[in-house]
């Protein structure tokens, strides 16, 4: 019975990854004109030395945890989150990835108000966010109106000079 319980626990839980090798890529929103929030997407290819393929991962960004989804391809994972543009300052964001064991340790430490800085992630990915562009300082309609008024003024002044 104990052997059956141990087998069930090992099959039900995700595999653990030894010596992970990752290839990360990331995307962040750069245009605030067409969106209301800044979106961050991190995709990784994960290869484990022990050949683990169905590793359950969790991500931590600035103390906030997110589930990591597994892609259709083996070893492909993705995590995404969004924040209002004003809260998404430009700079480097550190995304810490945890397996099930280290994630449960992290959650336990948070519940008990313990130091979470001592919990080592499986690996870390840095995401560079350049900030968002909010559009030109002066709208194109205002520039077009100002040019129109200037042309009208120059034409009216030239007409007055020619008639004089």
pLDDT greater than 60 at residue 80: yes
Select from 130, 141, 100 the least CA-distant residue to 40. 130
Q: What is the pLDDT of residue 93?
A: 93
Q: What is the mean pLDDT of the chain?
A: 85
Q: What is the pLDDT of residue 3?
A: 39
- Read off the pLDDT band of 139 (50, 70, 90): confident
Q: Specify which residues 17 forms β-bridges with.
A: none
Residue owning tokens 């064991």: 101
Helices within the chain (DSSP H only): 2-12, 100-111, 140-163
- Sheet harboring 123-129: ordered strands across? 64-67, 57-61, 91-99, 123-129
- Read off the pLDDT band of 133 (50, 70, 90): confident
For the question of whether the overall pTM of this predicted structure is more than 0.85, the answer is no
User: Quick one: average pLDDT of 103-111?
Assistant: 92
């Amino acid at each position: 019975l104990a052997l059956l319980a141990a087998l069930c626990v090992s099959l039900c839980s995700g595999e653990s990854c030894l010596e992970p090798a990752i290839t990360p890529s990331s995307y962040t929103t750069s245009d605030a004109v067409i969106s209301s929030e800044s979106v961050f997407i991190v995709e990784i290819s994960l290869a484990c030395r022990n050949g683990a393929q169905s590793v359950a991962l969790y991500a931590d960004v600035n103390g906030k945890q997110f589930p990591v989804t597994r892609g259709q391809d083996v070893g492909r994972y993705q995590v995404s989150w969004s924040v209002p543009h004003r809260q998404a300052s430009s700079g480097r964001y550190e995304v810490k990835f945890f397996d099930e064991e280290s994630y449960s340790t992290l959650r336990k430490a948070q519940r008990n108000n313990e130091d979470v800085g001592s919990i080592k992630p499986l690996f870390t990915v840095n995401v560079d966010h350049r900030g968002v562009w909010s559009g030109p300082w002066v709208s194109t309609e205002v520039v077009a109106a100002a040019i129109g008024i200037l042309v009208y003024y120059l034409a009216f002044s030239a007409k007055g000079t020619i008639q004089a």
